[in-house]
């Protein structure tokens, strides 16, 4: 903010420069419109005053961070890349820009113009902070939505209980993220965020129905201690009996008790399977819909999610580009 800099520093900055410090950029720093000054300059730090900021130097004198020596003036087009891509804009290069900028023909600021300059900088800084806050909101929303893709099939879970904990925790984080969008976003962004939320809800429903089964099938596949020698007999028999159970219910009727009990007995012989895994495998195999249907449902939910999130991200970039 402009209030972080002394009046002397502002006078020196605007008194020693007439255009943006970015090489060959012709943008003026201030111009008059209908007799009033309009400030388009942004005060940029060569070394950030924030420990996690661009080009922060631990041993740089803190008293100089907001001084004339560590500041240069950039236009709104060139300030963001200089700070967002710090790895390609080194301190040494910015100091060269600074030297070139101070060699420009500046002007002594009349005392009457200084309040307008300060007010203009305040407005520019407020707009920067607003855009940064919006960017954080949009990025947090995307980050909070992405975990549902893995959790829809229990990809990172050990068991059904752990899957439920993951979904509940991530839903809580997502609720915070979407609340920020509802609070900060214009109607168009809110509408797109709601579409993403609906897709996340569809993924949650899939996780609740099929997630425990995905985890249990993975546990069964991993139960063979010596995969190089082929499947352990118990694992092979269990998979065979589950296949028989799936086939028995494929016509839409209930699972025959004898087939169900045979599958249950075979699963209980597999080392490493918990009682919960056995239960979830039997539940999954007894479903009237096929596993192909479950996969198709998941793929459709994923495609809808990706499309909704892509629309949200495109709108977020456009909104940031046009934000005042």
With both helix axes pointing from N to C terminus, report the angle between 233-249 and 257-268 in degrees, rounded to the nearest 10.
160
Q: Detail the DSSP E strand segments found in the chain.
A: 30-33, 36-39, 42-45, 71-74
The three-class DSSP label of residue 77 is coil
Q: What angle do CA 72, 70, 23 make, to 5 degrees?
A: 35
Q: Residue 35: what pLDDT?
A: 74
Q: Residue 2: what pLDDT?
A: 45
Q: Residue 1: what pLDDT?
A: 42
Rounded to 10 degrees, the C-alpha dihedral 37/40/45/48 comes to 120
The three-class DSSP label of residue 245 is helix
Produce one character per residue of 112-121: b if its CB has 16 or more CB atoms within 10 Å, e if not: ebeebbbebb
Q: Residue 323: what pLDDT?
A: 67
Structural element, H or E, at residue 113:
none
Tracing tokens 């100089």 back to the chain, one arrives at 64
Q: What whole-number distance in Å separates Cα of residue 272 and Cα of residue 276?
A: 11
Plot region of 34 (φ>0 → left; ψ -120 to 50 → alpha; else → beta): left
With both helix axes pointing from N to C terminus, report the angle between 160-184 and 275-285 in degrees, rounded to the nearest 10.
70
pTM of the prediction? 0.69
Q: What whole-number distance in Å separates Cα of residue 134 and Cα of residue 281?
A: 45
DSSP structure class, residue 18: S
Residues 86 and 54: beta-carbon distance below 8 Å? yes
Question: How many CA within 13 A on the CB side of residue 38?
Answer: 9
Q: Is the torsion defined by CA of 22, 14, 118, 43 positive or negative?
A: positive
Q: What angle do CA 238, 239, 240 make, to 5 degrees?
A: 90
* Residue pLDDT tens, the chain, 324 long: 444 688 888 888 888 888 899 999 998 888 877 777 788 888 999 999 888 888 999 999 999 999 999 999 998 889 889 988 888 999 999 999 999 988 876 666 677 777 878 888 888 778 777 888 888 899 999 999 999 999 988 989 989 999 999 999 999 999 999 999 999 888 899 999 999 999 999 999 999 999 999 999 999 988 866 555 555 688 989 999 999 999 998 877 788 899 999 999 999 999 889 999 999 999 999 998 888 888 999 999 999 999 999 999 999 988 887 766
């Amino acid at each position: 903010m402009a209030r972080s800099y002394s009046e002397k520093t502002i006078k020196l900055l605007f008194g020693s420069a007439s255009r943006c410090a970015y090489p060959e950029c012709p943008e003026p720093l201030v111009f008059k419109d209908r007799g009033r000054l309009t400030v388009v300059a942004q005060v940029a730090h060569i070394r950030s005053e924030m420990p996690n900021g661009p080009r922060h130097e631990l041993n740089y004198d803190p008293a100089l961070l907001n001084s004339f020596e560590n500041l240069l003036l950039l236009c709104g087009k060139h300030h963001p890349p200089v700070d967002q891509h710090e790895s390609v804009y080194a301190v040494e290069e910015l100091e060269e820009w600074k030297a070139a900028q101070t060699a420009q023909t500046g002007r002594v600021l009349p005392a009457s113009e200084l309040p307008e300059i300060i007010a203009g900088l305040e407005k520019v800084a407020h707009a920067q902070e607003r855009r940064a806050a919006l960017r954080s909101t949009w990025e947090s929303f995307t980050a909070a939505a992405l975990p549902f893709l893995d959790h829809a099939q229990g990809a990172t879970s050990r068991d059904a209980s752990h899957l439920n904990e993951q979904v509940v925790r991530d839903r809580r984080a997502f609720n915070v993220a979407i609340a920020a969008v509802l609070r900060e976003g214009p109607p168009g962004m809110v509408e797109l965020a709601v579409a993403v939320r609906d897709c996340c809800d569809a993924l949650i429903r899939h996780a609740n129905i099929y997630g425990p089964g995905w985890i249990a099938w993975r546990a069964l596949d991993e139960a063979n201690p010596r995969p190089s020698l082929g499947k352990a007999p118990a694992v092979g028999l269990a998979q065979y009996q589950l296949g028989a159970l799936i086939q028995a219910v494929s016509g839409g009727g209930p699972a025959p008790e004898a087939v169900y009990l045979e599958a249950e007995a075979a699963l209980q012989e597999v080392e490493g399977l918990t009682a919960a895994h056995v239960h979830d495998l039997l539940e999954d195999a007894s479903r009237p819909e096929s596993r192909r249907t479950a996969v198709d449902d998941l793929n459709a939910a994923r495609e809808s999610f990706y499309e909704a999130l892509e629309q949200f991200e495109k709108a977020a970039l456009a909104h940031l580009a046009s934000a005042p």
